[in-house]
Structure 1
Amino acid sequence: MTAVLTPTRTPLSALVAPTLQTIPEAVAANVRQVRAATSSTVMAVVKADGYGHGAVTVARAAVDAGAEWLGVTEVAEAVALREAGLSVPILSWLNPAGADAVRAAAQRIDIAVGSVEELRQLVADAEEPVRVHLHLDTGMARGGCAVDDWAELLRVARRGAAAGRLEVVGVMGHLPRADEADPAANAAAVLRMRQGRDAVLRAGFGPLLVHLAATAGALTDPSTHFGMVRIGAGLVGIDPSETVALAGASRFTASVVHSAGVPAGTAVGYGGTCVLPRATHLGLVGVGYADGIPRQLSAEAGVEIGGRRYPIVGRVSMDQIVVDTGEERYPRGTAVTLFGPEGGAVPSIQDWARWAGTIPHTIVTGIGPRVQRSIA
């Protein structure tokens, strides 16, 4: 089986080995587009292995293009970036297993804290001052300190700062409805962020780096920008608001592993859910749901072979999909493009998201470990 994520400029004839290639030039172009939309500092968020494109590769491209910060899920991810030679400030803000305060301080990694309990633990664990961003729940009830607990969080922060265990350097939140590209939809979150920031300043902390907007907010609503915007999905060509065209950062291809002519009435795949109405040719493509192909797809789903779009027929299997190639019979080893940035016959990640009834984020982050990775 072969599966490959490759850049636009690589010849299809070379794309038969299982490889996931990321296009740093596209990442850089997307960073530049965001920078043109804001005067705020830009953080490149490279969680989920850089949205499936390689955290170090995406981070380097983003920083080279002008991103001043990096964002990750946990301290270990930040340490990997440091070990790769990235020296810009890094923020870790989810820390599902708890933040390693000692390691964070030693590696110059900022920690976001969203509850009184978390902050108390961080203060208790710290041996040297840890740089902290206080995380306020600005309307999603998905992490972040509740407004009612904000005053207590600040009291704990003041005690921690007085003891030399932490330094409050930032305040953050999330926009619950930024993908609507409507400033009115997030006005309440912006107001709550301002109120939270002002309370932190009154508590004696500052200067503060305040950040609320991710990709959609950064592209559509300047009122959400504050001092920094966080760009994650936008780095790899996804605008959740679907209002701005960004550059696709990858191409996913696979190979024909078997082909055959079949008569009318042939049932395809498990359960025989597709019965072909005419004689045709089928190409078996060596990629399946173990490699990130969504199992549930609409009848529109297709792939590109030889400059033409062909439909996927029958059920997606763990290791294979079947393509109806009509009058054409493609030999074993023929390259098949599942998605890429070219348009035309080549599907996009947005096409795949629509066919699967999901969002583009799940398509790119779902590419499986059997697909090899490389850089264009």
Structure 2
Amino acid sequence: MTPHRTGAEEPAASTPPTTPAPPAPEALRGTLAELRRLAALPLGRGRTLPPRAYTSPELYAWEVERIFRREWLCVARAEEVPRPGSYLRLDVLGTPLVITRDDEGELHALSRVCRHRFMDLLPPETAPEHGRLERLTCPYHTWTYRLNGQYAGQLAGAPLMRRVDFDRAGCRLPAYRVEVWNGFVMLNLDPDAAPAAPELHGLDLRLSGYGIEDWVSVHTQVWEGVPANWKVAVENGSENYHHMGTHAATLDPVLPGRDTEVDECDGRWFTMFTPLSGPERSGTGPGRRARSGREPRPGMLIAGVFPQFVLAVLPDSAVGIRWLPTGPATHDTRITAMVPPGVPDTPGFAEQLTGMRAQLARIQEEDLVAVRGVQRGLASHPAPSNGRFSPLERPLWQFQRYLAQRLL
């Protein structure tokens, strides 16, 4: 299959972090040199990363510092924080966070660690993951923090502290960068990071016919502690070549991997399209309807945003997959299914949703067999040699170039 170029505007090449990188640890020199060599190869000669790139604790620590603490990460749907006072608790690479929405409708990302004695302000043992708050109150000593506008995170009250000399005005929860992109909440732990939107403009054009910013989430599934390096999962989700093997009885009969058209992209994002086969081309699923006289082409658009997000879009539904590493050889996976607005209220949708949930679980379980199996292979002795890329694995070759820009 020969990759093709879309009509969408191509993004500029991703720019490396502006902060000068400290020297790489000695233990990483060989691995990073191999990454440099592989990232310079043309696709026709492209090879997989060496096994140590998926097993090295030193490389994982370098990735956390150079990528995950500096890059825009997809962490939620904006609808999960629907109105003023709403909150969403989440943890990103050991950083306890809360996303809130203020009276003006703006989102804020705040630390959940109290400035007094380091207590989690929304402990999972007692606080729901979602909810509503007027202020954020620590359950340990009842220190209270404001949630509105420019004062979000500012200390509002500290009982029995009037005779203590400390800077009340300067006491506030650390805040983090947050943007909304196509209905998804993008978070950055780096206060000096450039905005997310300009780098994704070309992908916006590719997605513009779907209107997914208004779509509603109808189901979320979470797999925690998956025993595989995060890159194994991202690479699995970034190619449809494996449909004919891993998903031979589920996806491949209706979305044949061999028919996938991979777009020529570079930088932060990629896209590819797999047309529906056979009678499925008629598209009879929930929510199928024309949008202003335009009907999306029958098939599945895969849109990926490095380092950890892939969106699979059909004309009548979409699935967003987010991966977050939890260690050198473990990660969490969160999958959210979405449909156009109004669809959940249509007759028969409850039955369709039951089928959708079962299908998602089955497909993910198939993928889990694959990523666990790959991780076992990577850890084998002697270490296997680098494999060669198929043209359908172009996004993996692009992923290497992205990693090289961030890690070298």
What's the TM-score once normalised by structure 2's chain length?
0.28
Larger RCO, structures 1/2 (Cα 8 Å, 6+ apart): 2
Higher helix share: 1
